[in-house]
Amino acid sequence: MIILSRPPPLSSLPPNPRIASPAPHRFSSSSSNLLPPQCQTTERGHEFETGGTFYRRESAVGRDLGVLAASLHKRSSPQLRVLDAMCGCGIRSLRYLLEADAEFVLANDANDDYRSVIARNLSRVSDEGRWLVSSNEANRIMTECYLKRDFYDLVDVDSFGSESSYLRSAMNCLKLGGLLYVTSTDGYSSGGHRPHHSLAAYGAYVRPMPYSNEVGLRMLIGGAVREASVLGYRVTPLFSYYSYHGPVFRVMLRLNRGKLLTNRHYEFISYCTKCGHSQSYSWDELSKLSCTCNKEGGSLVVSGPLWTGPLHSASYLTEMSNMAEQLGWMGNGTGTDLQKLLQLMVDESDPKLPFGYIKLDEVASRAKINSPPLRTMMSALQKEGYAVSRSHIATNAIKTDCPMATCIRIAKEV
């Protein structure tokens, strides 16, 4: 008779010496005694302590958006279980518990020194039971959850740089129909300055393009699309948020079983340095790469494959706005920024708008005129029948389905 013994939990085993920790310096502080004693702060009215943990006030909007999505999920699902894989001081976990009314939150941060700060913060909400603190490497805890068949409704991975190795383990411990909230802070890769690095991390060879902030979001979504398809899943972006501090690229994705419904949205994009026109190419069209302005070629910068589909779901954003209203985050001047952001994202979701945006300064310099005022430019384009929107992703830029050359003609006429 063969007797199968239960293996010990992964967390009790020593780490594989062949696998280097992704970024040990990120979560090792030289001594826990270095954490300053209780440094109190507040966010959305909740008091908590940051100690010497990683906490950025500027990331509060990203946390607001995560809570809104979690609250919507809670409304339509029997329960809300959240895995906060890189929780810092635990402010996200606290907010998922308090504001989204999560049944359970697993708050994990690889830095063991943060454990007591996280636990003190979460004890403000309830006794342990509704939450648990762990100090594991993110891939390790998520893989352990997957192996235990301990699945979550929302997995939040607030990582640094272009660490993408967690994508697969995060998807593995996510329930089907669940939400995956992922982050990249790699502005060098999105700017096209490390194409081999972006290729390794997200499978996309990224070159410098004038709308690099948006490319950063599309690179992250594309990486997740690729990883999901390996597992027989597909992911759909519900919202994509760019924030200049960092920079930070955040995307909320819904995971479903099945392949991408169409491969139309996983493509290459080109930018013509001569006329400023951008275009997308499916894999089958790669041999046709050229710009109409320059038949000899040589003027195209090409990046990809990237996600070229919608960055947001307009209907989902509308539900998020309604939820923000219910939470009292809109109006009265207090939630003005969030309100504006959600509205801009809805505007950006017009399916007629292609990828990329046009900086008004570039229009001005190509047309050799002063920068046209945003409103004037927009209404001129709308009068000509183009779809046009401002973009939250770049200031002084518009998203439009108007090719650059026509833009310049219109700008001259303004």
Ligand X SMILES: C[S@@+](CC[C@H](N)C(=O)[O-])C[C@H]1O[C@@H](n2cnc3c(N)ncnc32)[C@H](O)[C@@H]1O
Contacts with ligand X by CB under 6 A lie at 22-23, 26-27, 53-55, 59, 63, 86-88, 91-92, 109-111, 137-138, 158, 160
Q: Got the DSSP string for 86-153? A: T-TTSHHHHHHHHTS--SEEEEE-S-GGGHHHHHHHHHTT--TTSEEEE---HHHHHHHHHHTT--EE
User: Residues 6 or more apart from 144 whose CB is under 8 A from it?
Assistant: 9, 10, 11, 136
Q: How far is CA 325 from the centre of its chain?
A: 23
22 vs 276, beta carbon nearer ligand X: 22
52 vs 222, beta carbon nearer ligand X: 52
117 vs 404, beta carbon nearer ligand X: 117
For 182, left (φ over 0), alpha (ψ -120 to 50), or beta?
Answer: beta
> Do 163 and 22 touch, CB atoms closer than 8 A?
yes
- 284 three-state secondary structure: helix
137 vs 227, beta carbon nearer ligand X: 137
> Shortest Cβ distance from residue 149 to ligand X (Å)?
22
DSSP state of 223: H
> Shortest Cβ distance from residue 299 to ligand X (Å)?
39
63 vs 74, beta carbon nearer ligand X: 63
139 vs 240, beta carbon nearer ligand X: 139
Name the residue type at position 326. Q
Cis before 305 (ω within 30):
yes
> Shortest Cβ distance from residue 250 to ligand X (Å)?
11
> Shortest Cβ distance from residue 247 to ligand X (Å)?
13
In the chain the first and final C-alpha atoms are separated, in Å, by 86
27 vs 329, beta carbon nearer ligand X: 27
> Shortest Cβ distance from residue 52 to ligand X (Å)?
10
> Shortest Cβ distance from residue 261 to ligand X (Å)?
32
117 vs 402, beta carbon nearer ligand X: 117
Q: Got the DSSP string for 292-307? A: TTBTT---EEEEEEEE
> Do 89 and 111 touch, CB atoms closer than 8 A?
no
The pair of three-digit structure tokens given for residue 29, joined into one six-digit string: 């502080």
> Shortest Cβ distance from residue 78 to ligand X (Å)?
26
Q: CA nearest 179: which of 123, 219, 224, 242?
A: 224
> Shortest Cβ distance from residue 59 to ligand X (Å)?
5
> Do 240 and 217 touch, CB atoms closer than 8 A?
yes
Block residue for tokens 């007591």: 116
